[in-house]
Amino acid sequence: MTIKAHELTLPLSEEAVRGLKVGDLVYLTGEIFTTAGMPTHDRLLGCLDGVEPLPFDLKGAALFHLGSLNEEAEDGSLRIVYMNPTTSTRFNPHMPRLIPGLGLRATGGKGGLSAESAKAMAEAGCVYLAFLGGGAEIITAGIKQVTGIGWPEMISHYRIARIEVDRLGPLTVGIDAHGNSIYDQTTNAALDKRAAILEEMRAAREA
């Protein structure tokens, strides 16, 4: 498999997203949206159901599962001290609706998403980008400034932050817009290895 590196500008086009393959590396420049909150995802689903308006237009956007340590200035602005990915699988119940409902072109964090989410991504033209766990320094280096805060009444890591980034990455395409998932490949490889080990153990017992 040939791994390619892509320099992409946000918001992403469907054509750009469809051109990414599992394992490719991505650098993003533009504005991303981040949150680490389960209640935030519940609230986003409520927006799709007409409970309240969205704080931002997320059509074509990248919404990432990232938590951060922030410093709040007297004027209410935020400076991100550091940012790290949170586990995306926590949001498996939400993402199959949010991906098409919000019109997302990218999502991501760490740990991947469910097969149902991958199916939604393939249908909508969206990719999952994997962040390096423990790579706060690398991630934070790509942040230029916070350009907006959605739902400021929520606690810090539940808010939706709109952040300007410059060459954020490298990020790995964990699930592409064709339904291929690096997480499935990893699981299958582990299962194959497990089967081989068990077979070796069985043969050793019978020898």
Q: 5-9 and 25-35 as β-strands: parallel, antiparallel, unpaired?
A: parallel
Burial 135-153 (b: 16+ CB within 10 A, else e): ebeebbebbeebebbbbee
Q: Which residue has the tokens 């590396």?
A: 25
Rg of the chain taking only CA atoms, in angstroms: 19
Alpha-carbon distance of 78 to 151, in angstroms, equals: 14
List 41, 65, 94, 178, catalytic entry: 41
Alpha-carbon distance of 207 to 113, in angstroms, equals: 43
User: How many angstroms separate the Cα of 42 from the Cα of each of 52, 83, 131, 152, 200?
Assistant: 12, 22, 23, 16, 48
8 Å CB contact between 23 and 172: yes
Establish whether 41 is a catalytic residue.
yes
Active-site residue set: 41
